[in-house]
Amino acid sequence: MHNPNHYDQGTEDATGWSAFLAGALIGAGVALLFAPQPGTELRGRLRDYANRATDDLLDKGQGAWDTVVERGKEFYEKGEEVVRDAGRSAKEFAEQGVKQGQEAVKDAGQSAKDFAQQTREPGRAAL
């Protein structure tokens, strides 16, 4: 069975990772800016760090997308199950209604026969 708090946990994890990654980027950028290095070397290190951070973000984004797709499939399958159950219940209800209707017609026919027979018998007064 699906745990409704599972989604909340995933959201909290994603928020935590986003905050961590943002903090790491800011901290690394500040550290590199204050490091005593020549400009070309500093720019190269910043570029490498930005590329690694971009790759990490893309990986995390792909993971989040996969989670969303999986959840969508779960909800779709659950929806199909609910629709199937509702269809089954409606069919059973309709079949039960048909049976009750047939029994009512049969009972009404029997009552009409009984009434007709009673009115034909001698010594009985017709209503």
User: For position 121, what pLDDT does the model report?
Assistant: 66
The 10s digit of each residue's pLDDT in 2-22 is 455 555 555 666 677 778 877
Share the mean pLDDT of the chain: 76
The residue range of the domain holding 112 is 13-120
| CA atoms 62, 63, 67, 73: torsion sign | positive
Rg of the Cα atoms in the chain: 38
Q: What is the pTM of this model?
A: 0.35
Q: Do the domain assignments include residue 6?
A: no
Q: Do the domain assignments include residue 25?
A: yes
Q: Do the domain assignments include residue 85?
A: yes
How many domains does the chain divide into? 1
Percent of the chain's residues with pLDDT above 70:
79
Asked if the model's pLDDT at residue 62 lies above 80, the reply is yes
